[in-house]
Homo-oligomer: A and B are copies of this chain.
Amino acid sequence: MSESKDTKRIEIRLSGSGGQGLIFAGILLAEAIGIYGDKNVAQTQSYGPEARGGASRSDVVISEDIIFYPKTTELDILLALTQEACDSYYPALKGGGTLIVDSTYVSQVPTDKVYSIPFTRIAREKIGTPVVANVMSLGALAAITKVVKLDELEQVVLSRAPRGTEDKNKAALNEGFELGEKAVKDYRAKFIDAPRRQ
């Protein structure tokens, strides 16, 4: 993704289970880009039988043009915080798309081209609570995909976080960004800088 900055339309799905704060994360991401940044953004939640089963997803579509069709058709970026979400939505990721998973819960990944980070475990260990794994994953997504700037996310996190949780959310965001940067280095070392073996 970091090479495709001239892409007109970018489709992102944040997925996992209910209670992981993915709707909140989707709104943060959309506002960071659409209000604090300068692109057009549509952010959608869909509820149906799968939502009643506890699955949760939040889609964000970014475009430099007006968005006539806010539904995702082929994902450029998929964040999956649970195995079920990864299994369900990986088929919707386009070839060459970016997959980011929470390795705390996702153990079986359908490709080796993945950014695998234990968000929930690190949130628990470093920030003291697993509930900021959602915001931490946004930080990583910013570092890995460059669809949003860290300071745009920081502004919206500080304005939207429930009172009293600003510091933890900001710490989670920055920790996530660092984890993302490290994951990019590892990924490049593995797939780009290393001699290619086909």
**Contact residues of A with B, CB < 8 Å?**
23, 27, 30-31, 33-35, 40-48, 51-52, 66-71, 162
Contacts and interface: CB of A to CB of B under 8 A. Distances in A.
A71 B61 CA distance: 12
A139 to B, nearest CB: 20
A36 to B, nearest CB: 9
Contacts of A47: 30-31, 33-35, 40-43
A67 B140 CA distance: 31
Contacts of A23: 27
Given A68-B71, A70-B71, A46 B52 contact: no
- Most chain B CB within 10 A, of A27, A34, A44, is at A44
B70 A52 contact: no
Contacts of A52: 34-35
A48 B44 contact: no
A87 B119 CA distance: 45
Contacts of A66: 48
Nearest to A62: B47
Contact of A34 (B30, B43, B51, B70): B51
Nearest to A63: B48
B46 A45 contact: no
Nearest to A33: B47
A42 B45 CA distance: 6
A35 B17 CA distance: 13
A40 to B, nearest CB: 4
21 contacts: A23-B27, A30-B45, A31-B47, A33-B47, A34-B46, A34-B47, A34-B51, A34-B52, A35-B47, A40-B47, A41-B46, A42-B46, A43-B44, A43-B46, A43-B47, A44-B44, A44-B70, A69-B69, A69-B71, A71-B71, A162-B162
